[in-house]
Each structure stands twice: as C-alpha cells, then as structure tokens.
Structure 1
Amino acid sequence: MLPPENAAAVPSLVARLDGFQLAIFVSPTAAMRGHAMVVASRNWPKGLRVAAVGIGTASALEERGFHAVIAPSGEADSEALAELPELQDLQGRSVVIFRGQGGREWLRTTLAARGARVEYAECYRRARPDADAGGLLARWQSGGIEAVSITSAEGLANFFEMLGPTGRGYLR
C-alpha cells in the first residue's frame, strides 16, 4: 500500500468532515489509514456516523474506538451495506467514502441516486509489489506451496502478472 497519488486533496476533505452525516469505510485498510489521516490533524466529529462494508472493517473501526458501527452481518460488500435501513433515505445528506484510489463506483452511484452528496477520501493506493517471483516459483515447483489466498480481483491480476507464463502454469 502506498499513499494516494492525490494525497493533497485529503486534508481539505478532513477539515470539512463536520459537514458530513455519514462516513463509510470500504476495507480494514481504509479504516486504518483513513482514521489515521483524520486524527493526525483533528478529532473525529461528534455525530458523524460510521459505516463499514463488512464485519472485518467494522472490527478495524471498533479497534479505533468507534461504537455503533453500521455494517451488514452477512455478506461483506457494498451491495449488502446499501441494503441496510440506515442507508435507504439519504436525501440531502452528505456522505464521505474512505477507500483506496480507484475502485468501484457502484456505492457512490447508488447513494447519490438516493439523494446523497457523496465524496471520496482516497487514503491509499494499491500497487503490485516489486518482487522477484523466482523464489516463490521454486518453492511452488518443489511442493512447498499448497494454497494461495487472494482477496481481490486486483490482487489476482497482480499475482498473475508477477507469476508470468511459467508460474501461471502451476495454477492448474
């Protein structure tokens, strides 16, 4: 994880947090980095409700002192969060979404259709590690790797690129 390319935009948004009614965090990383960006320059605004896309993100927020985090109890995605009663009537409300740079527009589009004014606080960016896959491929070929867990489409694309054609052959 790296700082966002437009890191200069975040401080001005953080200074305006009192004007928002809801802050949504889309990942544990967004919770960690977004919270750190806010508390580096100010206190969290009283009355600014907090929401998370899933229980992992909700736990990361609770570890940072948030209570009554709005989060779905089942699926952990934007669609499940948007189904909750607290996110139905947003007419005239301001919502800030803490996230990594880029990503899906679905949540913003959905909340805006419900009458919300939505802004992003992009607090990090994902980047493919600059690593030599040679050691990984050698361990994999010798049977030292039995499973790989990847949690995002972007992570999978990065993994495929790192492996190259030879490594991708090991996925069979």
Structure 2
Amino acid sequence: MSGWRLLLTRPADESAALCSVLAEQGVFSTCLPLLEIEPLAASDTMRAVIGELERFCAVIVVSKPAARIGIDLLKQQWPQPPSSKWFTVGAATAQILEDFGLDVSCPAQGDDSEALLELAPLREAVARPDPRVLIMRGEGGRELLAERLRELGASVEYLELYRRCLPHYAPAELPARIEAERLNGLVVSSGQGFEHLHQLAGDAWPQLAQLPLFVPSPRVAELARAAGAQTVVDCRGANATALLTALREQPVPVL
C-alpha cells in the first residue's frame, strides 16, 4: 500500500489520528480538514428532550461530536446514566458513550445507516407498541435512517447538537495541495464532507474527479457519482480498518 498518497478531510483531530494509523501501515497522507464542528448553544428545548430520554425506546447517536456534546448535556441533568437503549453507527462513537457508562449497541461491520438498521437489538426496540426513537446528530444528515425507522412504525425525533462548517481556505488551496504533494487518492467521511470537497474544488473538480475517492457508505458513494466522481470506493465504514481494507483491494493509480 506504500504507493498511496491520500488527502484526509475529516475534522483536524480525527484526521491527525487517522494519519498516524496510516503511517504505521506505510501509507502517506496529508490533512486538509473540510469539516469544522460548531456546537449549538444549549436551549430549553434541548434540555427538555434530554430530561425525558427514558420515554424513547431507542436513542441513536450518529457521530462522535454528537456523543461528546450529548454527554455534556447528560451530565447536567442525569446524576446516573439513563436506562435508555443506546445505539450508534460506529464503534468509535459507541466507545465515547460506553466510557460514560451507557449500554450501547452498534454494528459489528459497516459504519453506516444500512448496517445499523439491520441490528437485531434496534429491530427489537422498535417492535414494541408505539415506538419512539430519538436521533442525536448535527444539523441535517442521515434522513435515510429516520425514513426507514418510520417505515418500521416508529415515530422519530431529532436532537440537533452542532453544525458542520467549511473552514476558510484560499480558492486554490485544494488543487494546489494535491498537486504539490502528488496525491493520488481522496478520503471523505460523510456526505457533507464530500459536498465541501466538491465546493472547494471549484473549477478544478473535473480533474480531481478522476482521482479515486474513498467514501464511508453507499449513500455518500451515490452522491459522489452523481457529481461526476469517476472512481468511487465504498469502504462500508468510516474507521481506519475499513479504509485500510479498501486501500488493499484498490489498485494504486498511475499518475
């Protein structure tokens, strides 16, 4: 895998951690964060929802920022962790909640909504009469999850805890970085991450669209292909293991 030279686009701390793991496997990577997490101010509505968590048959936390911010709110209102059934899309998010003392279920394989929806404990939770599900997330995103849960008969509410912003970069920063460091692969971790990549690429997108693009789920893969990305690799997960597996299976492009 030593031929890969990747652009990582996650928030700065997550990109740095992934860069370190890749380096141990002989993969060069450089970081250009395309997502910046901005927590939303705690409101009376947020506090009311947190105070009534046990009325939900399932609480789904879709990201690490949602887990961290959610725990900060929990600490203010729950002397002991609530007995709700907790679910996450990925193991890293689950670990944050488990460290706080919550009992969490997550898919063993596949960090995406599709894998979560197949999870037996979640199916069992929404099979009860009048199931109510809370999704803790940032502004927007993962509508598929709510749609499928409603198809299963659940009522779904959102608790939005943060927004994702595009950091400020000079107009040509993205293509200039790719050219200067001879990068041959792009990595995004979410649909909004891809949208920011597409936006920042600007007029250079037709050239960048020819590079292999590693994405975490079928939903993001579909979004990227619709925008013209030529080689989209669905890692079926946003973690380092999923990316490394995809890198081993994908031939290194000759530039």
Is 2:180 the counterpart of 1:142?
Answer: yes
Q: Deviations over 1:84-117 (max 9, x none)?
A: 2222214323221111111132222322333333
Residue in structure 2 matched with residue 62 of structure 1 by the alignment: 98
Q: Is the contact made by 2:88 and 2:116 (CA closer than 8 Å) also made in structure 1?
A: yes
Is 2:67 the counterpart of 1:31?
Answer: yes
* Superposition map of 1:6-155 within 5 A: 7-43=43-79, 45-67=81-103, 69-88=104-123, 89-143=127-181, 145-155=183-193
* CA distance, structure 1, for counterparts of residue 80 and residue 113 of structure 2: 23
- Cα 1:52–1:170, aligned 2, differ >3 Å: closer, same or farther? closer
Q: Is the contact made by 1:4 and 1:101 (CA closer than 8 Å) also made in structure 2?
A: no
The runs of 5 or more residues in structure 1 that have no matched partner are none
Identity among equivalent pairs (%): 31
Q: Is the contact made by 2:136 and 2:158 (CA closer than 8 Å) also made in structure 1?
A: yes
* CA distance, structure 2, for counterparts of residue 25 and residue 83 of structure 1: 16
The runs of 5 or more residues in structure 2 that have no matched partner are 1-36, 211-255
Q: Is the contact made by 2:66 and 2:136 (CA closer than 8 Å) also made in structure 1?
A: yes
- Which piece of structure 1 moves more, 7-16 or 138-147? 138-147
Structure 1 residue 41: Cα displacement: 3.4
* CA distance, structure 2, for counterparts of residue 30 and residue 136 of structure 1: 28
Q: Which has the higher strand share?
A: 2
Taking structure 1 as the reference length, what is the TM-score of the superposition? 0.82
Residue in structure 2 matched with residue 3 of structure 1 by the alignment: 39
* CA distance, structure 1, for counterparts of residue 43 and residue 205 of structure 2: 35
* SS of residue matched to 2:134: strand
Tell me the matched-pair count: 171
Root mean square deviation of aligned Cα: 2.6
Structure 1 residue 168: Cα displacement: 5.5
Larger RCO (CA within 8 A; separation ≥ 6): 1
* SS of residue matched to 2:157: strand
